[in-house]
Chain A
Amino acid sequence: DAGVIQSPRHEVTEMGQEVTLRCKPISGHDYLFWYRQTMMRGLELLIYFNNNVPIDDSGMPEDRFSAKMPNASFSTLKIQPSEPRDSAVYFCASSLRQLNQPQHFGDGTRLSIL
């Protein structure tokens, strides 16, 4: 079975540019999560969706960040305008709806803002 698919794997762009990260969750999973991982802060939950509806976006750093899930098989995380401090690895994860189900992660997008 296909796992969570993220694209691109690597992104290098200049400060001020718009960045769009993409995620395809595992088919049949009800929940989708976006995380950011840095050396300083570790793993941070940015936002999560249930059945395409955003449930908790309290981890989104600021208005420059936005996330959408237009359908059950696709989500985007957008940063506009990007800043060097946004450089991190961004992970998407999905899970089934039962509380005891683990989150399954994509391979991540390594983002570098110059």
Chain B
Amino acid sequence: AQKVTQAQTEISVVEKEDVTLDCVYETRDTTYYLFWYKQPPSGELVFLIRRNSFDEQNEISGRYSWNFQKSTSSFNFTITASQVVDSAVYFCALRSAGNNRKLIWGLGTSLAVNP
């Protein structure tokens, strides 16, 4: 079975705090891809990052960083020095090579960054 779990339903932080959004996945495939998407209050779904199963290098993009660990089947997302504009729902998704084109979605984590 394939599954994505985002255990944190809602997180509330104060501006400038660091925050980590957890994503744990399950798949039996050895080749798979992980994605993070952002859905701000305006409603659109914005692609943030992709990671391949054979590339465990972590990635940093400005205040955003992603920690991919196959040993714990996790692909966590950290926002450093959070800002009000980071307030959104964040989704983690999984695509396995054996699952055609379907994305398996987590239920999302709603992040509120308060001034």
Contacts and interface: CB of A to CB of B under 8 A. Distances in A.
Interface residues of A, number: 24
Given A99-B33, A100-B52, A56 B45 contact: no
Contact of A110 (B33, B43, B97): B43
Interface residues of B, number: 21
Interface string A34-50: 00000000110100101
Contacts of A43: 91, 105
Interface stretch (A13-21, A66-74, A79-87, A101-109): A101-109
B100 A56 contact: yes
B107 A100 contact: no
Contact of A107 (B37, B44, B47, B91): B44
A55 interface: yes
A42 B108 contact: yes
A75 interface: no
